[in-house]
Chain A
Amino acid sequence: MRASIQGRFGDRLILVAVVALAICWLAPIFWVIGLSFKPNDVIMKTTGGLLSPPFTLKNYTDIIATSAVFGWMLNSAIVATGQTLLTLALSTLAGYGFARTDFPGKRLVFVAVLAGLAVPEQAIIVPLHTMFAEANLHNTYFGLIAPRLAVPFGVFLMTQYFRGIPAEIEEAAMLDNASRFKIFLRIVLPLSIPAQATLGIYTFLHAWNEYFWPLVSATKPEMYTLTIGLAATQTNFAQTEGIGFLMAQAVFAGLPVLILYLFFQRHIVTAVSGGFAK
C-alpha cells in the first residue's frame, strides 16, 4: 500500500520533469516561429511582446520574392535523391553478394569494407577535395553526391538483412528454373523492400542535412544546397537587419522535414536508430 502511493508520487514527479524538459525542447522552435511573423524593425528593438501585435507575413512574402531558398531546395532534392538511389543500388547488390553468394576472396573484401566503417569523413576530406579539384568535379551535382557512396554503412545494413531471409526461398526458386538474375529481380528485390525503405530514409535525411562536404565542394551560390545556403546567410548574422527574414527562412527550410517526420515518424525512427543498433 505504502509502496504504491510512493510509486504513484514518484511517477508524477518524473512526469512533471519530463514535461518540463519537453517544454524546453519546444520553446526554441516556437520562439523562432513567433519571431518569423514579426516585423524586422520591431525585433531590432525588442523581442518581448511576441504574442502581441504587430504581426506580419512580410518575411514570408520576401522569401518568395527575393530568397534563393527555392534554388537551394532544388539542389538539395537533386543531391539527396541521387545519393539515395545510388546508395540503394550499390548497397543492395553488394549486400546480396556478401550475404548469399560466394566468390574467391569474399571474406577478405568483406573485412576491408567493414573496416571502412571506422573511417570518419574528416580523415579523408582534404585529399578527397584535392582529387575532386583535379577532376574539376566541384560545384557539380555528381561532386556533391559521390563521396558518401563509398560509405559502407548501407552495404553492412543490407548484408545483415539478407542474412535474415531464409535461404530456402531462393533454393526453391532455383528448383523453379529461375536464373540467378531472375532470382535477384523477382525474389530478392521485392523481399528487401523494408530494408530499402529504412536505408533510403536514412540516406536521404543524411544527404539533406549534410554540412561539411557541400561546404567545401559547393562554393558557387547557384550550387548551394539548402544547408549551405542557410549557413551562408547567417555568417554575417550580427550585422543583419532582417532577423525576422532569417527566421522565416529557417522555418520555411525546416518545415518540410518536420512535416515528413510527423507523417513517417516510425520509419524515420527505425531508419535512424535501427542502423546503429546492429
Chain B
Amino acid sequence: MTSIVLKRVSKKFGTTSVISDLSLAIDPGEFTVFLGPSGCGKSTLLRMIAGLEDVTSGEIEIEGQRIDRAPPGERGVAMVFQNYALYPHMSVRENLSFGLKNIGMPKAQIDERVQAAARMLEMDALLERRPSQLSGGQRQRVAIGRAIVKEPRAFLFDEPLSNLDAALRSRTRVELSRLHQRMKATMIFVTHDQVEAMTMATRIVVMNQGRVEQVGTPLGIYRRPATRFVAGFIGSPAMNFLKVEPAAGEGGMAAVRLGDGTVVQTDIPTAGLEAVPAELGVRAEHVTTGGGIPATVDVVERLGDRTLVYSRLRNGAAVVYEDEGDSPVSVGDAVSLGFRRQFLHLFDASGKAHQAPTLEGGPRHG
C-alpha cells in the first residue's frame, strides 16, 4: 500500500519545463525529503501535491484517490511554509483553529485538538499571543501546530528551517524527527540542505532540473550515488573527482590512470561498465596517507575531531582528505596518498556512477 503516488507528472510554465515526466511512490509513514539545488523543481512538485500549482499532465493520488484536480483544502494535506505564513491578525489559538472551523468541526473538538497540539509542541502559554509577539522558533512551532491539528493524510514542509539560525535549526531537526516517530505520519520535506535530508529522511528523492536523479535511503544514496550529480551534491566536504583514462585492470576489475600517471585499481567489475570511465570519485574519508601517490598540502582545516587536508597531486588535481584531529600536517608538506579501493566510484561521460558490488548501500528501510 502506498500513501502518495505521482504518475508521469509534468509541469510547464509557458514553454519552460519545470518538472518532466516524474513518477514516484511514497509509502505511508515515510519521511521523504525532496533534495536538490534551487530551481530543480522540488518546491513546485510539493506545491502541486498541495494543490497550489496545477499539474500540466500526469496524475497524483493520495491513498488511492486521485486528487490532482481537487482544490487544496479537499486534499487532506497540511503545509508548513518557509516564511510560516501565519495569519498575522489572529492569535495562535485562532491560527490553529481557523482550518477546523472552516470544515465545521464542533467547538469542543477544536479546543481539544488545539490543546493537544499545544501540549505536544510545548506552546500552551503562547496560545493567546499574536504571531508578531513570537520569536522565529515559536512561529515555526505554531506553523507546525497548525498542520498537526488538522490530522492530515500527509504533512508537506517547504524549506521550513531556512529562516532559523544555525543552533535552532539543528534543534528543530531533532524535534521534527521525534515528531515523525511519534505521529507515524507521512511527511514530505523539501530542502536544498543535504544535512537536513541526511538527518531526517527515511527516504531521499534527489532532484535536478525537474527530474529525479535517485531515490533511496540516506546512507544508500551517500554510499552508492547513482549519478555524478548525486555524488557531488551529497557529502561534506564534496567528493573528490579526478579526470582519468582507462588502464589495464586485474581480475576482471577496472583500473584507471590518473592525470599524474598513477594507475589506480578498483573493485568495480569491468563487465558492469557500459562506457569508458571518465572520472574517478573518492570521498575524503576514503583517502589514506602513505599510499604512494605524491601530493602537496595546500590548506589545512582543523575541525577538532578531525582535520581536512586540501592537497594537490603532481598534475595540479585537487584532493581533499581526512586526517586525525591532532595530525601534525602543515601547509607545504609533501604527502603520499592512497585510495581505499572498495569505496571508489567510477563515472562515465554521461554521468552514470559505478561502485563495487560489495559496497553496502546501508540499512534498508521497510
Contact = CB atoms under 8 A, between A and B. Distances in A.
Chain A directly contacts chain B within the complex, with at least one CB pair under 8 Å = yes
A227 to B, nearest CB: 37
Interface residues of B, number: 24
A108 to B, nearest CB: 18
Contact of B73 (A168, A169, A175, A187): A175
A177 B77 CA distance: 11
B83 A174 contact: no
A240 to B, nearest CB: 54
A191 interface: yes
A177 B85 contact: no
B206 interface: no
Identify which of B77, B79, B82, B83 gathers the most chain A CB atoms within 10 Å of its CB.
B79
B102 A172 contact: no
Contact of A175 (B83, B88, B89, B99): B99
Interface string B63-81: 0000000011110011101
B231 interface: no
A171 B85 contact: yes
A177 B99 contact: yes
A172 B73 contact: no
B146 A172 contact: yes
A178 interface: yes
Interface string A177-188: 110001000110
Contact of B87 (A172, A174, A175, A182): A172
A177 B74 CA distance: 7
A190 interface: yes
B73 A176 contact: yes
Contacts of B87: 169, 172-173, 187
Interface of B: 50-52, 71-74, 77-79, 81-83, 85-89, 98-99, 102-103, 146, 150
Given A172-B86, A176-B73, A191-B88, 4 more contacts: A174-B51, A175-B51, A177-B102, A191-B89
17 contacts: A166-B83, A166-B85, A168-B83, A169-B88, A171-B72, A172-B87, A173-B98, A174-B52, A174-B71, A175-B50, A175-B77, A176-B102, A176-B150, A177-B74, A177-B102, A177-B103, A191-B89
